[in-house]
Amino acid sequence: MELIQQLVNGISLGSIYALIALGYTMVYGIVRLINFAHGDVFMIGSFVGFYAVTSFHVGFFPALLLAMVSCAILGVCIERIAYKPLRNATRIAVLITAIGVSLLIEYGTIYLRGAQPEAYPSTVLPDKKIEVLGVTVNSQSLLILGVSIVLMILLQFIVHKTKIGKAMRAVSHDAEAARLMGINVDNTISATFAIGSALAGAAGVIFGIYYTKIDPLMGIIPGLKAFVAAVLGGIGIIPGAMVGGLMLGVIESLVSGLGYSLWRDGVAFIILILILIFRPAGLFGKNVREKV
Protein backbone atom coordinates (compact mmCIF):
# COMPACT_ATOMS: atom_id res chain seq x y z
CA MET A 1 0.00 0.00 0.00
CA GLU A 2 2.94 2.25 0.80
CA LEU A 3 4.05 1.67 -2.78
CA ILE A 4 0.75 2.79 -4.26
CA GLN A 5 0.86 5.83 -2.03
CA GLN A 6 4.25 6.70 -3.47
CA LEU A 7 2.95 6.08 -6.94
CA VAL A 8 0.14 8.59 -6.39
CA ASN A 9 2.62 11.14 -5.05
CA GLY A 10 4.87 10.47 -8.01
CA ILE A 11 2.11 11.04 -10.51
CA SER A 12 1.15 14.34 -8.87
CA LEU A 13 4.74 15.50 -8.82
CA GLY A 14 5.21 14.20 -12.35
CA SER A 15 2.23 16.13 -13.63
CA ILE A 16 3.88 19.32 -12.37
CA TYR A 17 7.08 18.40 -14.20
CA ALA A 18 5.04 17.61 -17.27
CA LEU A 19 3.33 21.00 -17.28
CA ILE A 20 6.70 22.76 -17.12
CA ALA A 21 8.32 20.38 -19.60
CA LEU A 22 5.61 21.17 -22.15
CA GLY A 23 6.77 24.77 -22.33
CA TYR A 24 10.39 23.71 -22.84
CA THR A 25 9.49 21.29 -25.54
CA MET A 26 7.06 23.54 -27.42
CA VAL A 27 9.52 26.42 -27.48
CA TYR A 28 12.34 24.13 -28.53
CA GLY A 29 10.15 22.64 -31.23
CA ILE A 30 9.47 26.00 -32.79
CA VAL A 31 12.69 28.02 -32.34
CA ARG A 32 15.25 25.34 -31.39
CA LEU A 33 16.01 27.17 -28.17
CA ILE A 34 16.26 25.86 -24.63
CA ASN A 35 14.51 28.64 -22.78
CA PHE A 36 16.41 28.54 -19.51
CA ALA A 37 14.20 31.30 -18.12
CA HIS A 38 11.25 28.92 -18.23
CA GLY A 39 11.73 27.71 -14.65
CA ASP A 40 11.60 31.33 -13.53
CA VAL A 41 8.34 31.90 -15.36
CA PHE A 42 7.08 28.99 -13.27
CA MET A 43 8.29 30.78 -10.14
CA ILE A 44 6.54 34.01 -11.16
CA GLY A 45 3.34 32.06 -11.73
CA SER A 46 3.62 30.65 -8.24
CA PHE A 47 4.02 34.12 -6.73
CA VAL A 48 1.19 35.60 -8.77
CA GLY A 49 -1.06 32.83 -7.46
CA PHE A 50 0.23 33.43 -3.94
CA TYR A 51 -0.49 37.16 -3.98
CA ALA A 52 -3.83 36.61 -5.65
CA VAL A 53 -4.90 34.32 -2.83
CA THR A 54 -3.36 36.17 0.11
CA SER A 55 -3.85 39.80 -0.94
CA PHE A 56 -6.96 39.62 -3.09
CA HIS A 57 -8.55 36.62 -1.38
CA VAL A 58 -9.58 34.93 -4.58
CA GLY A 59 -10.20 31.21 -4.83
CA PHE A 60 -8.07 28.55 -6.44
CA PHE A 61 -9.38 28.78 -9.98
CA PRO A 62 -9.25 32.59 -10.33
CA ALA A 63 -5.71 32.49 -8.89
CA LEU A 64 -4.74 29.79 -11.36
CA LEU A 65 -6.18 31.75 -14.25
CA LEU A 66 -4.48 34.95 -13.15
CA ALA A 67 -1.13 33.19 -12.86
CA MET A 68 -1.56 31.67 -16.30
CA VAL A 69 -2.46 34.96 -17.96
CA SER A 70 0.38 36.84 -16.23
CA CYS A 71 2.89 34.20 -17.25
CA ALA A 72 1.62 34.17 -20.82
CA ILE A 73 2.25 37.90 -21.02
CA LEU A 74 5.65 37.52 -19.35
CA GLY A 75 6.60 34.74 -21.78
CA VAL A 76 5.68 36.84 -24.81
CA CYS A 77 7.65 39.81 -23.43
CA ILE A 78 10.72 37.61 -22.87
CA GLU A 79 10.48 36.32 -26.41
CA ARG A 80 9.93 39.70 -28.05
CA ILE A 81 12.55 41.57 -26.05
CA ALA A 82 15.30 39.01 -25.50
CA TYR A 83 15.04 36.27 -28.11
CA LYS A 84 13.46 37.77 -31.21
CA PRO A 85 16.33 40.14 -31.96
CA LEU A 86 18.64 37.10 -31.84
CA ARG A 87 16.72 34.92 -34.25
CA ASN A 88 19.62 34.74 -36.68
CA ALA A 89 22.35 34.81 -34.04
CA THR A 90 24.52 31.86 -33.03
CA ARG A 91 23.02 29.33 -30.66
CA ILE A 92 25.53 30.10 -27.97
CA ALA A 93 24.54 33.79 -27.99
CA VAL A 94 20.90 32.84 -27.52
CA LEU A 95 21.76 30.35 -24.79
CA ILE A 96 23.74 32.91 -22.85
CA THR A 97 20.88 35.37 -23.25
CA ALA A 98 18.47 32.79 -21.87
CA ILE A 99 20.65 32.33 -18.80
CA GLY A 100 20.82 36.11 -18.45
CA VAL A 101 17.04 36.41 -18.59
CA SER A 102 16.77 33.68 -16.00
CA LEU A 103 19.09 35.47 -13.57
CA LEU A 104 17.33 38.76 -14.23
CA ILE A 105 13.96 37.33 -13.28
CA GLU A 106 15.33 35.56 -10.19
CA TYR A 107 17.24 38.49 -8.79
CA GLY A 108 14.71 41.04 -10.03
CA THR A 109 12.15 39.23 -7.90
CA ILE A 110 14.49 39.22 -4.92
CA TYR A 111 15.12 42.92 -5.43
CA LEU A 112 11.41 43.66 -5.50
CA ARG A 113 10.19 41.53 -2.61
CA GLY A 114 13.21 40.08 -0.86
CA ALA A 115 14.54 36.55 -0.81
CA GLN A 116 12.45 35.27 2.07
CA PRO A 117 10.24 32.25 1.37
CA GLU A 118 6.47 32.33 1.71
CA ALA A 119 4.10 29.73 3.07
CA TYR A 120 1.54 28.96 0.42
CA PRO A 121 -2.04 29.11 1.66
CA SER A 122 -2.91 25.51 0.95
CA THR A 123 -6.40 26.09 2.30
CA VAL A 124 -7.53 27.26 -1.12
CA LEU A 125 -8.13 23.64 -1.95
CA PRO A 126 -10.03 21.25 0.33
CA ASP A 127 -7.56 18.99 2.09
CA LYS A 128 -9.25 15.70 2.92
CA LYS A 129 -8.06 12.17 3.11
CA ILE A 130 -9.99 9.95 0.78
CA GLU A 131 -9.96 6.16 0.90
CA VAL A 132 -9.79 4.57 -2.51
CA LEU A 133 -9.54 0.78 -2.51
CA GLY A 134 -7.75 0.81 0.78
CA VAL A 135 -5.30 3.52 -0.21
CA THR A 136 -5.58 6.91 1.40
CA VAL A 137 -5.05 9.70 -1.05
CA ASN A 138 -5.16 13.34 -0.42
CA SER A 139 -8.00 15.23 -2.09
CA GLN A 140 -5.50 17.93 -3.06
CA SER A 141 -3.39 15.44 -4.99
CA LEU A 142 -6.44 14.34 -6.89
CA LEU A 143 -7.47 17.89 -7.74
CA ILE A 144 -3.96 18.78 -8.80
CA LEU A 145 -3.82 15.74 -10.99
CA GLY A 146 -7.23 16.56 -12.42
CA VAL A 147 -6.26 20.14 -13.25
CA SER A 148 -3.02 19.00 -14.90
CA ILE A 149 -4.84 16.44 -17.01
CA VAL A 150 -7.46 18.96 -18.10
CA LEU A 151 -4.72 21.42 -19.09
CA MET A 152 -2.87 18.78 -21.08
CA ILE A 153 -6.06 17.75 -22.89
CA LEU A 154 -6.74 21.41 -23.60
CA LEU A 155 -3.25 21.78 -25.00
CA GLN A 156 -3.69 18.75 -27.25
CA PHE A 157 -6.94 20.25 -28.47
CA ILE A 158 -5.30 23.59 -29.22
CA VAL A 159 -2.35 22.05 -31.00
CA HIS A 160 -4.35 19.64 -33.13
CA LYS A 161 -7.70 21.25 -33.73
CA THR A 162 -7.27 25.02 -33.81
CA LYS A 163 -5.81 27.23 -36.48
CA ILE A 164 -3.10 28.62 -34.24
CA GLY A 165 -2.17 25.08 -33.20
CA LYS A 166 -1.84 24.00 -36.80
CA ALA A 167 0.24 27.10 -37.51
CA MET A 168 2.49 26.16 -34.58
CA ARG A 169 3.04 22.67 -35.94
CA ALA A 170 3.66 24.01 -39.43
CA VAL A 171 6.21 26.56 -38.25
CA SER A 172 8.01 24.03 -36.09
CA HIS A 173 8.29 21.67 -39.04
CA ASP A 174 9.34 24.20 -41.68
CA ALA A 175 9.15 27.92 -40.96
CA GLU A 176 9.82 28.99 -44.54
CA ALA A 177 7.13 26.74 -45.98
CA ALA A 178 4.79 28.05 -43.29
CA ARG A 179 5.44 31.60 -44.47
CA LEU A 180 4.44 30.52 -47.96
CA MET A 181 1.07 29.48 -46.55
CA GLY A 182 0.61 33.02 -45.27
CA ILE A 183 1.35 32.10 -41.66
CA ASN A 184 2.80 34.93 -39.59
CA VAL A 185 5.81 33.18 -38.08
CA ASP A 186 6.55 35.84 -35.45
CA ASN A 187 3.02 35.77 -34.08
CA THR A 188 3.03 32.00 -34.07
CA ILE A 189 6.25 31.93 -32.07
CA SER A 190 4.78 34.41 -29.60
CA ALA A 191 1.67 32.28 -29.23
CA THR A 192 3.88 29.29 -28.47
CA PHE A 193 5.69 31.19 -25.74
CA ALA A 194 2.34 32.39 -24.38
CA ILE A 195 0.87 28.90 -24.15
CA GLY A 196 4.03 27.29 -22.77
CA SER A 197 4.42 30.02 -20.17
CA ALA A 198 0.78 29.82 -19.14
CA LEU A 199 1.26 26.11 -18.43
CA ALA A 200 4.34 26.92 -16.36
CA GLY A 201 2.29 29.50 -14.46
CA ALA A 202 -0.34 26.90 -13.70
CA ALA A 203 2.39 24.51 -12.58
CA GLY A 204 3.69 27.23 -10.24
CA VAL A 205 0.37 27.59 -8.44
CA ILE A 206 -0.09 23.83 -8.22
CA PHE A 207 3.46 23.40 -6.93
CA GLY A 208 2.88 26.04 -4.25
CA ILE A 209 -0.22 24.30 -2.97
CA TYR A 210 1.45 20.91 -3.04
CA TYR A 211 4.75 21.83 -1.41
CA THR A 212 3.50 24.85 0.55
CA LYS A 213 6.80 26.74 0.44
CA ILE A 214 7.85 29.07 -2.35
CA ASP A 215 10.79 31.42 -2.84
CA PRO A 216 12.36 33.37 -5.73
CA LEU A 217 14.86 30.63 -6.55
CA MET A 218 12.31 27.83 -6.44
CA GLY A 219 12.20 27.59 -10.23
CA ILE A 220 15.74 26.36 -10.67
CA ILE A 221 15.47 22.72 -9.65
CA PRO A 222 11.97 21.99 -11.00
CA GLY A 223 13.02 23.86 -14.15
CA LEU A 224 16.06 21.64 -14.60
CA LYS A 225 14.06 18.52 -13.87
CA ALA A 226 11.35 19.50 -16.30
CA PHE A 227 14.09 20.02 -18.84
CA VAL A 228 15.29 16.48 -18.12
CA ALA A 229 11.70 15.29 -18.54
CA ALA A 230 11.47 17.03 -21.91
CA VAL A 231 14.72 15.44 -23.06
CA LEU A 232 13.58 12.08 -21.71
CA GLY A 233 10.40 12.22 -23.78
CA GLY A 234 12.21 13.66 -26.80
CA ILE A 235 12.67 17.41 -26.94
CA GLY A 236 10.21 19.07 -29.30
CA ILE A 237 7.63 16.30 -28.92
CA ILE A 238 4.56 17.26 -26.92
CA PRO A 239 3.32 13.82 -25.80
CA GLY A 240 6.95 13.05 -24.96
CA ALA A 241 7.03 15.89 -22.43
CA MET A 242 3.88 14.62 -20.77
CA VAL A 243 5.13 11.07 -20.47
CA GLY A 244 8.66 12.17 -19.57
CA GLY A 245 7.33 14.36 -16.77
CA LEU A 246 5.13 11.66 -15.32
CA MET A 247 7.91 9.07 -15.53
CA LEU A 248 10.38 11.31 -13.81
CA GLY A 249 7.93 12.11 -11.02
CA VAL A 250 7.15 8.46 -10.44
CA ILE A 251 10.81 7.41 -10.51
CA GLU A 252 11.73 10.12 -8.01
CA SER A 253 8.92 9.16 -5.65
CA LEU A 254 9.78 5.49 -5.84
CA VAL A 255 13.43 6.24 -5.12
CA SER A 256 12.50 8.20 -2.01
CA GLY A 257 9.90 5.58 -1.13
CA LEU A 258 12.61 2.94 -1.13
CA GLY A 259 14.49 4.94 1.44
CA TYR A 260 16.97 6.68 -0.80
CA SER A 261 15.45 10.12 -0.52
CA LEU A 262 18.88 11.74 -0.58
CA TRP A 263 19.22 10.40 -4.11
CA ARG A 264 15.99 11.94 -5.26
CA ASP A 265 17.47 14.90 -7.06
CA GLY A 266 20.44 12.95 -8.35
CA VAL A 267 18.24 10.42 -10.10
CA ALA A 268 16.91 12.99 -12.56
CA PHE A 269 20.39 13.82 -13.69
CA ILE A 270 21.48 10.21 -13.89
CA ILE A 271 18.50 9.70 -16.19
CA LEU A 272 19.57 12.71 -18.27
CA ILE A 273 23.06 11.29 -18.69
CA LEU A 274 21.77 7.83 -19.58
CA ILE A 275 19.31 9.22 -22.12
CA LEU A 276 21.96 11.38 -23.72
CA ILE A 277 24.26 8.38 -24.03
CA PHE A 278 21.82 5.72 -25.17
CA ARG A 279 18.90 7.48 -26.76
CA PRO A 280 19.71 11.13 -27.40
CA ALA A 281 16.49 11.72 -29.35
CA GLY A 282 14.45 10.67 -26.31
CA LEU A 283 11.90 7.94 -25.84
CA PHE A 284 9.49 9.33 -28.44
CA GLY A 285 12.04 10.75 -30.83
CA LYS A 286 13.22 9.21 -34.02
CA ASN A 287 16.94 8.85 -33.69
CA VAL A 288 17.52 10.37 -37.10
CA ARG A 289 15.44 13.38 -37.92
CA GLU A 290 14.09 13.11 -41.41
CA LYS A 291 15.00 16.01 -43.66
CA VAL A 292 13.60 15.84 -47.13
Partner 1 sequence: MLKVESIDVFYGNIQALKGVSLEVKNGEIVTLIGANGAGKSTLLKTISGLLKPKQGDILYEGTSIAGKAAQTIVKQGISHVPEGRRIFANMTVEENLELGAFLRKDKQEIQQDFEKVYHLFPRLYERRKQLAGTLSGGEQQMLAIGRSLMARPRLLLLDEPSMGLAPLLVKTIFRIIEEINSFGTTILLVEQNAHMALSVADRAYVIESGRVVLSGTAQELNASEQVKKAYLGGH
Using rule CB under 8 A, residue 181 touches partner 1: yes
Question: In the beta sheet, which residues pair with residue 131?
Answer: 136
For 79, which DSSP code? I
258 binds partner 1 (CB under 8 A): no
Q: Compute the CA torsion angle 187, 31, 282, 252 (nearest 10 deg).
A: -70
Judged by beta carbon, residue 101 or residue 183, the one nearer partner 1 is 183
Q: Site residues for partner 1, window 148-177 (CB under 8 A)?
A: 163, 166-167, 169-170, 173-174, 176-177
For 233-277, the DSSP string reads: H-TT-HHHHHHHHHHHHHHHHHHHHTT-GGGHHHHHHHHHHHHHH
Q: Within a 10 A sphere around the Cβ of 22, how many other Cβ atoms?
A: 31
Number of residues that bind partner 1 (CB under 8 A): 18
Quickly list H helices, the chain. Answer: 2-31, 38-56, 60-78, 91-113, 139-161, 163-173, 175-180, 185-211, 220-233, 238-257, 264-278
Q: Return the residues of window 261-290 that contact partner 1 according to CB under 8 A.
A: 290
CB of 185 to partner 1, least distance (A): 9
Asked if residue 178 binds partner 1 (CB under 8 A), the reply is yes
Options 124-132, 180-188, 205-213, 227-235: segment touching partner 1 (CB under 8 A) = 180-188
Residue 276 and residue 231 in contact, taking contact as beta carbons nearer than 8 Å: yes
We find the least distance from the C-beta atom of residue 173 to partner 1, in angstroms, to be 5
Residue 137 CA to residue 134 CA, distance in Å, equals 9
* Nearest approach, Cβ of residue 95 and partner 1 (Å): 23
Among residues 1, 133, 180, 277, the one that binds partner 1 under rule CB under 8 A: 180
Residue whose CB is less far from partner 1, 155 or 170: 170
179 is a contact residue toward partner 1 (CB under 8 A)? yes
What does the H/E/C string look like for 170-186? Answer: HHHHCHHHHHHCCCCHH
**123, 139, 162, 184: which one contacts partner 1 (CB under 8 A)?**
184
Confirm or reject binding of residue 80 to partner 1 (CB under 8 A): no
Which chain residues interact with partner 1 by CB under 8 A? 163, 166-167, 169-170, 173-174, 176-184, 290, 292
